[in-house]
Structure formats: structure tokens, C-alpha cells
Structure 1
Amino acid sequence: SDLGKAIGPFIQPITSAVLNISWSWDNFANQPTEETQELLNEGRNAIADPQRVLAYLVTDEQPEAIALAQYYWGSAQQVGVSVGGVLWNRVNPNAEQVQEFLPIPSTGLPTLAGENWDALLAALPNFRDTDHIPKPLTIDTAARQVKIFLPGLTKNQVKLTQYGPELTIEAGDQRRNIFLPPPLTGQPVKGAKFQDHYLIISL
């Protein structure tokens, strides 16, 4: 199919890196639907686990670069990718710049002096420290709430729609479908608010 031709070259390297297996488009074409769905679910779970897939934003002091990094931060949440922090290229960020990206930490990286990488490597954060990272999606069935972390985006950039058992969030140029668990399946949206980088939906 046209879809297979388009995404075929990307399947093998992505599955090898994330799932520790090697797949091609032929595997998807030949596998029963249930097995293919299981593989896709495994990939989705891997991406949602910051111990397996973790992104960092890179920016400098230019306002345009900061705005773009914030936009990518919000877009990453829409696809379930955790962002561990901000790397400031050849900049020691001030308090205001750090505030722009809270609650994730900011790390200033020094200019590389010749071939001396020691100072640069010493400045890098601990990439295994993921306890501070906000979850892109939290569903609280007891409180009947869905919280979507959407930093770097304003209320006017976010659109919420509901179709049957799923919620659709459009933010920036990304769209995300959220399937609600059985206690909340089919429940209509009673309200939504944008607060502290979160879209909070009440059911």
C-alpha cells in the first residue's frame, strides 16, 4: 500500500531501537491484526516510559529559539514523549529563563574549548533521573478527571472534542485520541480548564 511504502523505511530502525527487535513493513503486512496491535501497543508503552525513551529540548537565549523549544515541548506531550529537561547551548540561563520551562530543569552548557570535552561532559545532567518529569497523561477515575500536560501552549491553541468513547485533543499541529477506561467510557465532558500547563477535563 501507499502507507506501507511511505513508512516502511522507518519501521526497522525504530523497532530495533525501541523494542530490541527487527521488523520491516512485510512483518506488519503478514501478521494477524491482533499481533500487529500488540506490537503497536508495546511500542506505545515504550515511548511512554521515560526510562526507555526520553527527549531533551535544546535552545539558546534568543526569544525565537525559546518559543520554538516551548512549542516542541507541548507537541512532544501530544505523542506521549517525556521531556527530561532543557539544554541551553553556550548559555547560563537566568532565573526568568529557567522559570519559562518549570517544572523540568534547565542546564547551561559551556562553549567547547578546542578539543577539551571535559567541562562540557561534566555539565550534562543525569539522563537517568526521571522522577521529576510530569506525565503527559493522567486519568483519575475516582475524581473523574483527565489531565493532559500541554506546556508551551495557550488555551487558544488547544481544541477538545468528544466522539463516543474517546476524547480528541488538538494542540498546535498535533492531534491525540484518548480512549477512556471503562469507568469513564461514554461519560460526557462536564467541563474543561487550562491551568498550570495542564488541560484538566472533568467527566
Structure 2
Amino acid sequence: MRIIIYTGKGGVGKTSIAAATAIRLAQQGSRTLVMSTDAAHSLSDVLNLPLGPDPVEAAPLLWAQEIDSMQETERNWGAVQSWLTQFMNWAKLNDVSTEEMLVFPGMEELFCLLQIKKQADSGRFDTLIVDCAPTGETLRLLSYPNVLNWWLEKIFPYERRLVKVMRPVAKLVTGGLELPSDETMNSIERFIHDLEDLQGVLLDPEVTSVRIVLNPEKMVISEARRSFTYLNLFGFHTDAIIVNRVLPDEAGEGFMAQWKELHRRYEQEIEDCFSPLPILRVPLMPGEVIGLEALGQIAGEAFRSVQAGGILHSGRTETIRKDGETYTLELSLPFIRKDEVQLTQLGDELTVHVGPHKRKVHLPRSLMGRPIEGARFNDDTLLIRFGERQ
């Protein structure tokens, strides 16, 4: 199984690149599914084919799918929704539009991501190409399992025991409200375990790669740099940068001359920022990129010298090195200054705060009980030094 996730700032053309990659792999004999988890689906528009919530055959060895968030919510959250409806009725909130209140913000997108695990486990496909939501939304969703797993381990067992003890008397005390049933609690636990399993697949560099799509423009490059930092923070493997809609040489005269010069300058900046990642270029096409034939041309340009489904770059974002009696944890965090990072250690957990994001690193046995003695940056790598075990 091979999973390739495409993300990037909205409007850079990641859906076209994802679809083109899928077409290329299908033509090479790989059973390929391209799936859209973005709430604003455009995959059917790019392929010029009607798509639905289940895989639809688009060409030989090629299937496409636009995931229905409402359907996935019902499948994964139905039991919880049923109890929440009872709660709303008990609280006499029937006049409020309960449908919007029964699913918490971001949950529908998470249910869509679980389709990745479902299709990976099905055995029907060799490769999954995932057209994700714009960068900010993608990063928020990919970090959820880390937080929910902590809640499942630290808080949920106590809540579950409390509900079990209080259930017999709660209906009398509250005047009719029933506490969540075992089925409801099981549904929550199953959902979080599924997310944990999904994260395990997505963090495996032998299976999953993230590719960032960008245009040679200042704001887009800045967004891509932040994305690359946070992907490294959460341990995801980025194996390529795809520069889309680069002005071709013949567009360098007259009105487009200044744009051509800007693109040339920003292309060099992209090389400087993201080296040694492979930089794949796709020129601005002379017409709209719609349909299998046009997407095939895009694939020919992007993967002219590399395998579309291959692991295009290998590199670890987290390593542990021993120096005498001390250990050093190395985290790859490009484009970040030391004063932008905050570290918090509690037991076997190290929390790394970078800007608006934070990641909980579960320390291995070799680092448990060892205090942090210092931290420094070296070549875009955060070096955290641990002292002797207390």
C-alpha cells in the first residue's frame, strides 16, 4: 500500500496535481484511488466526471471518490448523535437547530479522513492519492489524533467509570435524562482508536508521503514554509515540493515579462528554502486543465524524471543520539527561530509549542525521568539535551 497526500494553500491547483498523479499511476498498472476529503469538492470538476461518496471507476485501474461528510458522520457518530438528541430534548432546546450542534467543529473532516484507513484496509487498491483540504485545515486535522489519544488514555477511563456508576440514579436525579449508554461510550472509544490507527499509517514513511503544492508567489511560498515546519513538528514525511503554474519561457515577453522575472526569482527562493527535497515543476498550461487527457499532460510534466508513486525523498524528522551519560533528542523544525519554541516536560511527555501548534512527544524509555538540560538550534534542527536520570 502506498498513500500520497497532497496539500497546499487554497487555489494552487492541488486537486489537478492529485488527479494527474492518480492517472499516471493507473497508466503504469497500479490500482489507484484518488479521493477528495475537502468539503469544497472539485475533483469531479477536474476529472469532468460525476462522482459520489463511494469509489467510481474513471478509467482502467483508476477510481475516484468525493467523500460525503454527512454520511461519514452518521456512520461514525450515529450513537453519539442519538444520545445528544435526547439531551437536547431533555434540556428543552428543541427550538434550536440541533443538527448543527450535534457535531463538534472539525469532526466531519475527521470522519472523512477515516475513509483513508477504510480504503487502505480494503485491499482493493495499490495506491491512494488524497486531495486534502487547504493547508491550515489539513494540519489542524492531522494533529487531532495526537490530542484525542491523550484524552483517551488520561481522561476517558475515569469518565467511563463515573458514567457507569451514576447511570442507575441519574435518571431520577435529573428528572428523566439518561446518561450515555455503553454503546455510546464504545462508539467514542472506537472512533478514537480508529484515528490512532490512521495516524500510525500516516506517520509511516514507508507507506505515506505528503507533497506540498505551491505557486511561485510570495504569500504562497510563506504558507508552504509554515506548512513544512508543522508537518515536521507532527512527524509527517514530506517527500516533494510541486511548483505549479510556472510561466514557460515563451511567456517572457511584453506584458508577462515582469511576471516571468518574478517567477524566476521565486523559483530560486523555493530551491533555497526546500533543498534537498525534490522540486517538481509544472508549467502554466495553454488551456483549462479539465479531463483525463489534459491531466495526463500535467503528469507528464511533473513526473518527467521521477516515479510518481515512489518515495522521492527519505529523511527522519526525529532521532535520539547518546553522548556519554546524556541523550539528545533531535527534531527537524525548518524556518523556525529558537525564541518561537517552548518546551514543557511532564512525566513521559514532552510538549513542543511552535506558533499556534503544539505536539506531545511521548518520550521513549531511554529518556523517561531525565530532565531537560538545554536546547539549541543547528541547521533547522532543534536539539534537546537530556541530563542524567533522577
| TM-score by shorter chain over 0.5 | yes
- In structure 2, how many angstroms separate the alpha carbons of the residues matched to 1:182 and 1:119? 51
- In structure 2, how many angstroms separate the alpha carbons of the residues matched to 1:4 and 1:150? 37
* CA deviations over 1:106-152 (Å, ceiling 9, x no partner): 11111122364444211224343326232232234677221111123
Corresponding residue of 1:197: 380
Is 2:263 the partner of 1:90? no
Structure 2 regions of 5+ residues with no counterpart? Answer: 1-79, 85-100, 123-181, 247-263
Corresponding residue of 1:135: 316
> Alignment partner for residue 42 of structure 1, among 179, 197, 200?
197
Corresponding residue of 1:158: 341
Q: 1:63 to 1:36 in 2, by over 3 A?
A: closer
Return the letter of the residue paired with 2:298.
L
> Alignment partner for residue 186 of structure 1, among 369, 378, 384?
369
Corresponding residue of 1:18: 117
- In structure 2, how many angstroms separate the alpha carbons of the residues matched to 1:14 and 1:94? 32
Q: 1:183 to 1:131 in 2, by over 3 A?
A: farther
- In structure 1, how many angstroms separate the alpha carbons of the residues matched to 2:193 and 2:217? 44
Q: 1:64 to 1:11 in 2, by over 3 A?
A: closer
- In structure 2, how many angstroms separate the alpha carbons of the residues matched to 1:19 and 1:162? 35
SS across alignment from 1:5: coil
Is 2:108 the partner of 1:9? yes
Of stretches 76-85 and 134-143 in structure 1, the one that deviates more from structure 2 is: 134-143
Return the letter of the residue paired with 1:122.
G
Return the letter of the residue paired with 1:135.
R
SS across alignment from 1:50: coil
The answer as to whether partners of 2:114 and 2:194 remain within 8 angstroms in 1 is: no
Corresponding residue of 2:235: 80
Q: Choose between structure 1 and 2: higher helix proportion.
A: 2
- In structure 2, how many angstroms separate the alpha carbons of the residues matched to 1:172 and 1:106? 26
The answer as to whether partners of 1:60 and 1:88 remain within 8 angstroms in 2 is: yes
The answer as to whether partners of 2:328 and 2:384 remain within 8 angstroms in 1 is: yes
- Larger radius of gyration between Structure 1 and Structure 2: 2
Residue 188 of structure 1, CA deviation = 0.6
Residue 31 of structure 1, CA deviation = 5.6
Of stretches 170-179 and 119-128 in structure 1, the one that deviates more from structure 2 is: 119-128
Of stretches 3-12 and 193-202 in structure 1, the one that deviates more from structure 2 is: 3-12
Q: Compute the TM-score of the two structures, normalised by the length of structure 1.
A: 0.80
Corresponding residue of 1:122: 300
Corresponding residue of 2:161: none
Corresponding residue of 1:101: 274
Q: 1:112 to 1:177 in 2, by over 3 A?
A: same
Structure 1 regions of 5+ residues with no counterpart? Answer: none
* CA deviations over 1:158-196 (Å, ceiling 9, x no partner): 222222221111112110011111121010112211111
The answer as to whether partners of 1:141 and 1:183 remain within 8 angstroms in 2 is: no
Q: 1:135 to 1:187 in 2, by over 3 A?
A: same
SS across alignment from 1:49: coil
SS across alignment from 2:330: strand
**For this pair of structures, how many residues does the alignment match?**
199
Q: Compute the TM-score of the two structures, normalised by the length of structure 2.
A: 0.45
Return the letter of the residue paired with 1:105.
P
The answer as to whether partners of 2:239 and 2:312 remain within 8 angstroms in 1 is: no
- In structure 1, how many angstroms separate the alpha carbons of the residues matched to 2:118 and 2:328? 31
Return the letter of the residue paired with 2:199.
R
Q: 1:8 to 1:118 in 2, by over 3 A?
A: closer
1:166-181 correspondence to structure 2 within 5 Å: 166-181=349-364
Return the letter of the residue paired with 2:108.
P
- In structure 1, how many angstroms separate the alpha carbons of the residues matched to 2:350 and 2:282? 40
Q: 1:201 to 1:19 in 2, by over 3 A?
A: farther
- In structure 1, how many angstroms separate the alpha carbons of the residues matched to 2:308 and 2:237? 12
> Taking every aligned residue pair, what percent have the same amino acid on both sides?
23
- In structure 1, how many angstroms separate the alpha carbons of the residues matched to 2:232 and 2:308? 18
Residue 69 of structure 1, CA deviation = 0.7
Q: Choose between structure 1 and 2: higher strand proportion.
A: 1
Greater relative contact order structure (CA < 8 Å, 6+ sep): 2
* CA deviations over 1:55-89 (Å, ceiling 9, x no partner): 22222222222111101111112222221211112
The answer as to whether partners of 2:240 and 2:313 remain within 8 angstroms in 1 is: no
